[in-house]
Amino acid sequence: MRIPLSWLREYVDLPATETGRDLQEKLVSSGLEVETVEQLGAGLKGPLVVGQVLTIEELEGFKKPIRFCTVDVGQANGTGEPQEIVCGARNFAVGDKVVVVLPGAVLPGDFAIAARKTYGRTSHGMICSGDELGMGDDGSGGIIVLPPEHEVGTDAIELLELVDEVLDIAVTANRGDCLSLRGVAREAAIAYGIPLRDPALLDVPGPNAHGYPVQISEPAGCDRFTARTVTGLSPEARSPIWLKRRLQKAGMRPISLAVDITNYVMLELGQPLHAYDRSLVQGTIGVRRAEQGEKFTTLDGAKRVLDAEDLVITDERGPIGLAGVMGGANTEIADHDAEAGTSDVVIEAAHFDPVSIARTARRHKLSSEASKRFERGVDPMAASAAAQRVVDLLVLLAGGTAEEGVTEVIAPSAPHTITLPADHPDKVAGVTYGRETVVRRLQQVGCDVYGQDNLTVTVPSWRPDLADPNDLAEEVIRLEGYENLPSTLPRPPAGRGLTGRQRLHRRVGRALAGAGYVEALNYPFISDETLAKLGIEKDDPRRTTVKLVNPLSDEEPALRTTLLPGLLEALRRNDGRGSHDLALFETGLVFRPTGDEPQAVRLPVDRRPTDEEIAELDAALPRQPRRAAVVLTGAREQAGWWGKGRPADWADAVEAARTIAREAGVELTVRGDQHAPWHPGRCAALSVVVDGEEILAGHAGELHPRVIKALHLPERSCAMEVDLDVLERAGTGAVQAPRISTFPVATQDVALVVDAAVPAAEVESALREGAGELLESLRLFDVFTGEQLGEGRKSLAYALRFRAGDRTLTVDEASAARDAAVSLAAERTGAVLRGA
Amino acid sequence: MSAPNKSYDPVEVEALKPEEIERMRDEALAAFAAADSLDALQEAKVAHTGGTSPLSLANREIGALPPHAKAEAGKRVGMARGAVSKAFAARQAELEAERDARVLVEEAVDVTLPYDRTPAGARHPLTTLSERIEDVFVAMGYEVAEGPEVEAEWFNFDALNIGPDHPARGMQDTFFVQGPKGRETESNVVLRTHTSPVQIRSMLDREPPVYVICPGRVYRSDELDATHTPVFMQVELLAVDEGLTMSDLKGTLDHMVQALFGEGMTTRLRPNFFPFTEPSAEMDMVCYVCRGESVGNPDRPCRTCSSEGWIELGGCGMVNPKVLTAAGIDPEKYSGFAFGFGIERMLMFRHNVEDMRDMVEGDVRFTRPFGMEI
């Protein structure tokens, strides 16, 4: 809402020295968000005067038509001689009154005016457009042509009210009353503790039987309808300058006198109004719900198909207005320039149900000045005053005659009252205001207050947002000043810190960053095509995605079922920007619907939902496990003066999973697997044991070459993804401390030859089991293939360390344990001791 | 027992003559001094203190002396040997020091060589900033609460007093999740637009008092640009207890900005409107960059706060009693306060980030400098 300070001063006697910035500060502190204070005409300096065009000479031979004019500016130029001015505009004629800026003046934007040669003549000043004067759009599309009654030589800065301050207020959804000068003036009056001259306090004749007939068949949607008629409007009447200027400053475009007046009164009182051309309305005006599919053309020329919930204004033929939103083209007031100008009008000032208006405006994507106000709440008691104000202005400015008939259809309603303990605001604020202050503040807002310890408060008709005790508490607290609230701290019960899941999440992030991975937080929006490019088959559960009704991009309408698409995109982006050695990680939710989720139920809000109801709601949501993933490419270790580098490979990806598993205190079982998007020969399935049952936790390895090609990734890129929630469940709890033996260690190395296809993990597990309790540790230190082993064979060299807790092992004991290990490995995997 | 051989004169034993012993000692000292390496010193040691060295041989002669002469000769030889071994030790220390100095010089390296064998990793600053904020409240006794990002509308809107006709439910802000075929727009499920549904879930899960901090990702359908992102991180707080007041809210906010930005920081509340709080307020903090010194000071303009002296953080207020009712908490007995803000903007002014896109693109050059914690 734009509030010109000069206009506001009509309703409150602000101190004369008070600036827009001063008022802004006061209003902000009491709760109106004044975003800016615009300084109109800042830097503007005359002479800027009314002139009359005496002669026009059309100059030929230029790219566009140019006029050389002489203009009478009276004594403003000091000589009384006609002023010679070159002008490019064409919307004026000899004899027109115009606005002339003379040399020596400065226009907004630091535009200094001086005599200058142009188009072969000397121009001593300019004939001005609204734009050049910073007035905003006046609809003329050229220079300003003034009404003829203004004298030449008159100061136009004052005449056009060019210097002013305009407060731009972002009105919150609950304060419909502040979408008017009246509402903002009331806030200003409270803020300064001075009286308000309420513009809605008008003498209004009571309703009678000769008013325009109105029939409301939908009182739930329209609880008040005032109709007044004004006849004999002069076709020549135009909006006076002051009216146009106020509309412009408030951000509206002047259109025609009757429309300008209804807009002016709406800005002043907050009551949206509509004027119908009476000659075009046939019979009784009605208010009803539209018929489903009913067709109607609004003022903006749009043909609309109505919904059965839309509220419409009708005459005998059908709809003539979309109630509270926009009038109809069929009863539009004709412009004064049109052949048959409107001479008689019916004025509507009605009150509509905010929810109904909001729905209609949204349904038809039609937000108007009227709907904006009705949605937020309009003072129903101001309707008849607003109609009266329009009547008065039409009589005054358009020479019309007010008909005696006054129609008022009103559905009975009681004012809203709230009861609350007098100390309720104190309890909400944590400040002792006392009853007296509370009552005074509520009265300032316009409430009627009765009672001692318990207050009965009747809220004013313009504040429908005041519905509950806390609403009243807020009024008191904001007017007493939020800035005066003290700073105190509550005492929460002693806390228990983060949960295990939260601590694991943090540890995983730290461990991966410690291992050289950089965290990337990627958007979860993906396309089905990307999943296909990852080689994920159509029947894979990862292809069942949550889809958005209104995605940001139609190309990415789904939510991720795996973290890899986002991470790989980040990998590609980094690579494209010249970072080629990359290790990235992400932790976050993935969304795994079954595709059979039911619609979420609509629960009431006036009580706690039952546990069953909550469970039913949750069943409508997809599973949302937390995952961790890494992607790698380029060098894992850089080459340098220390020696060679090492490219990132599948083993780094698997190791990243082990790093995470270590943080979770979980032993990871690694097996070869074939799983998209990984290379079928270089993919590890990672599983853990939860409650005695082995569960798949994720995969790691090198990406499939086809995936790398399809997603334009660097060759041999690797990836890992695990489910953190599964790892957390697999966690074994508190670590059990090992017993540390101080007896000497006995080391035995063995090299076992097996088929190349035998997984090292199987050999290792057989060795461990066979070696028994004396085995302290086992480490694979070499893998060898070569001719002497034979085709398809490999040699695995292990270092076994034996130790007992109670004695020094003899060589025989250690050897026996080793032999047992080897023989179990032989039995399980066909391993043969190398060289044996 | 026979009488000692009084006539035996030690002087008669050639090797034990005082001048002879002095000579042996001096020769040994000269040989040590002449040794220019540890090996040469070792040879000199064998020659002058070994079993066949003159001093050792002389020592053996002592036994043959008459008792009265033994003491004197023994003392003389002992002193000589003492001097020799001391000289050896001194020379050895000298030569070892020389050797060490030489070797260490030879082994010296250029310690300015760069070492970037495994470049460091880093956590995303939004993650670590969120944790930093969480920790402030965990230290006060709050719990960290989490919830789903794909959320039922009842949790995201209805329970928060955002009725079906509230403009925030319109298509311009919220990502709606598709329902089953034929009823695509009727799932009643959305991407959460704030972490407030976690507040509702927290109240449903617990008996009051409830003190929780709810960090997490939220979604609004804005296009990505330098100052907006459709996916962002929010931190919300909820306290529900008997007798909580708006002054408690103010104190909690003040404590937070002091913990995060240092002593002397403070907040300001301005009236505002939110459906889920009543009274509601907009919360500002003193500008972290200029500390308010740019206000009315055109010579020192502040870009961070546009010389307003305050930075807008987010919204807050006393939990609307209707919200407590929907979450099963008796508003007659309990009151609560809540606040919420996006942490992207906080990261921007706290760390001078100029473009929001840097936070979402995952460029390692942006994230690396932030390390493990901020």
User: In the A/B pair of chains, how many CB contacts fall below 8 A?
Assistant: 297
CA dihedral B147→B153→B156→B157, nearest 10 degrees, is -160
d(CA A261, CA A614): 54
**Is the Cβ–Cβ distance between A175 and A130 less than 8 Å?**
no
Q: A240-282 pLDDT, tens per residue?
A: 999 999 999 999 998 889 999 999 999 999 999 999 999 999 9
- Choose between B70 and A806: higher pLDDT: A806
B331 backbone dihedrals φ, ψ, rounded to 5°:
-70, -15
Neighbours of A683 (CB within 10 A): 24
Identity of the amino acid at A485: L
Q: B98-146 pLDDT, tens per residue?
A: 988 888 889 999 999 999 898 899 999 999 999 999 999 999 999 999 9
**Minimal CA separation from B233 to chain A, in Å:** 10
B353 and A CB contact within 8 Å: no
Q: Is pLDDT at A154 greater than 80 in this prediction?
A: yes
**Is the Cβ–Cβ distance between A142 and A90 less than 8 Å?**
yes
pLDDT the model gives residue B8:
52
d(CA A632, CA A717): 6
The CATH homologous superfamily of the domain defined by A214-410:
Phenylalanyl-trna Synthetase, Chain B, domain 3 (3.50.40.10)
Q: Sign of torsion, CA B240 B244 B248 B250?
A: positive
Band of residue A140 on the pLDDT scale cut at 50, 70, 90: low
Tokens of A564: 């890899």
Tokens of A636: 């894992």
| Domain covering A500-590+625-730 in this structure, CATH number | 3.30.930.10
Neighbours of A215 (CB within 10 A): 13
Distances (CA, A) of B137 to A206, B167, B216, B334, B350: 62, 33, 15, 21, 19
B284 and A CB contact within 8 Å: no
Give Cβ neighbours of residue A347 (< 8 Å, ≥ 6 apart): A227, A228, A229, A230, A262, A273, A274, A275, A276, A387, A390, A391
Q: Say if residue A47 is preceded by a cis peptide, omega within 30 of 0.
A: yes
* Sheet strands (E) in chain B: 143-144, 150-152, 189-191, 210-219, 231-241, 267-274, 277-286, 310-319, 335-342
Contacts of B237 in chain A (CB under 8 A): none
d(CA B207, CA B240): 10
d(CA A282, CA A402): 20
**Is the Cβ–Cβ distance between A630 and A649 less than 8 Å?**
no
Length of chain A: 836
| Domain covering A746-833 in this structure, CATH number | 3.30.70.380
DSSP state of A709: H
Token look-up 């995969």 returns A699
Tokens of B286: 């003193």
Question: What average pLDDT does this structure show over A71-93?
Answer: 88
Q: B186-226 pLDDT, tens per residue?
A: 899 999 999 999 999 999 999 999 999 999 999 999 889 98
Tokens of A830: 């066909």
pLDDT the model gives residue A173:
87
Q: Is pLDDT at A661 greater than 50 in this prediction?
A: yes
Question: What average pLDDT does this structure show over A798-806?
Answer: 95
Question: What average pLDDT does this structure show over A777-785?
Answer: 95
Q: Where are the alpha helices (DSSP H) in A626-782?
A: 650-664, 705-710, 724-730, 760-771
Question: What average pLDDT does this structure show over A688-692?
Answer: 93
pLDDT the model gives residue B230:
95
DSSP state of A482: G
B43 is in an annotated binding site: no
pLDDT the model gives residue A725:
95
d(CA A122, CA A115): 7
Following DSSP, what letter does each residue of A251-318 receive, concatenated?
T-----HHHHHHHHHHHHH----EEEEGGG--S-EEEEEPPTT-EEEBTTS-EEEPPTT-EEEEETTE
Question: What average pLDDT does this structure show over A461-478?
Answer: 96
* Mean pLDDT, rounded, of chain A: 93
Where in chain A do CATH 3.30.70.380 domains reside?
746-833
d(CA A76, CA A80): 7
- Answer left, alpha or beta for residue A331, where phi above 0 means left and psi between -120 and 50 means alpha: alpha
Q: B256-272 pLDDT, tens per residue?
A: 999 999 998 999 999 99
Picking from B140, B149, B245, the nearest residue to A430 by CB comes out as B245
B30 and A CB contact within 8 Å: no
B364 and A CB contact within 8 Å: yes
State how far Cα A722 lies from the chain centre: 34
Q: A276-299 pLDDT, tens per residue?
A: 999 999 999 999 999 999 999 999
Chain B contact probe: residue of A178, A427, A475, A519 with most B CBs at under 10 A:
A519
Chain B contact probe: residue of A621, A624, A655, A724 with most B CBs at under 10 A:
A621
pLDDT the model gives residue A110:
85
Q: Is pLDDT at B11 greater than 60 in this prediction?
A: no
Q: Say if residue B279 is preceded by a cis peptide, omega within 30 of 0.
A: yes
Is residue B299 classed as helix, strand or coil in its secondary structure? coil
d(CA A184, CA A187): 5
Which CATH fold topology does A2-41+165-192 show? Phenylalanyl-tRNA Synthetase; Chain B, domain 1 (3.30.56)
pLDDT the model gives residue B372:
93
d(CA A398, CA A313): 26
User: Complex ipTM, two decimals?
Assistant: 0.88
Q: Is pLDDT at A23 greater than 70 in this prediction?
A: yes
d(CA B137, CA B256): 8
pLDDT the model gives residue B357:
94
| Domain covering A48-162 in this structure, CATH number | 2.40.50.140
CB contact under 8 A, B186 and A618: no
- Answer left, alpha or beta for residue A716, where phi above 0 means left and psi between -120 and 50 means alpha: left
Is residue A127 classed as helix, strand or coil in its secondary structure? strand
State how far Cα A253 lies from the chain centre: 28
B193 and A CB contact within 8 Å: no
- Choose between A456 and A332: higher pLDDT: A456
Length of chain B: 374
pTM higher than 0.95: no
Distances (CA, A) of A229 to A258, A347, A370, A387, B353: 12, 6, 21, 10, 62
Pick the CATH number of A417-483 from 3.40.50.1370, 3.40.50.300, 3.30.56.10, 3.90.180.10: 3.30.56.10
**Is the Cβ–Cβ distance between A83 and A121 less than 8 Å?**
no
Question: What average pLDDT does this structure show over A211-235?
Answer: 94
d(CA A154, CA A750): 111
Where in chain A do CATH 2.40.50.140 domains reside?
48-162
Band of residue A513 on the pLDDT scale cut at 50, 70, 90: very high
Identity of the amino acid at A3: I
**Minimal CA separation from A736 to chain B, in Å:** 28
CB contact under 8 A, B150 and A502: no
d(CA B188, CA A557): 17
d(CA A519, CA A582): 11
Where in chain A do CATH 3.30.56.10 domains reside?
2-41+165-192, 417-483
Band of residue B3 on the pLDDT scale cut at 50, 70, 90: very low
CB contact under 8 A, A31 and B271: yes
Q: Is pLDDT at A792 greater than 60 in this prediction?
A: yes
Picking from B123, B180, B278, the nearest residue to A509 by CB comes out as B123
- Choose between A252 and B69: higher pLDDT: A252
Where in chain A do CATH 3.50.40.10 domains reside?
214-410
Following DSSP, what letter does each residue of B55-83 receive, concatenated?
HHHHHHHGGGS-HHHHHHHHHHHHHHHHH
**Is the Cβ–Cβ distance between A442 and A404 less than 8 Å?**
no
According to DSSP, the residues that pair with A359 across neighbouring strands are none
Band of residue B12 on the pLDDT scale cut at 50, 70, 90: low
Contacts of A26 in chain B (CB under 8 A): none
* Percent of chain B whose predicted confidence (pLDDT) is above 70: 95
Picking from A428, A516, A600, the nearest residue to B189 by CB comes out as A600
Band of residue B171 on the pLDDT scale cut at 50, 70, 90: low
**Is the Cβ–Cβ distance between A536 and A578 less than 8 Å?**
no
Tokens of B309: 């002296």
Q: Which of residues 252-271 of B touch A (CB under 8 A)?
A: 252, 254-255, 268-271
CB contact under 8 A, A30 and B362: no
Contacts of B204 in chain A (CB under 8 A): 608-609, 614
Identity of the amino acid at B302: C
pLDDT the model gives residue B1:
42
CB contact under 8 A, B363 and A574: yes
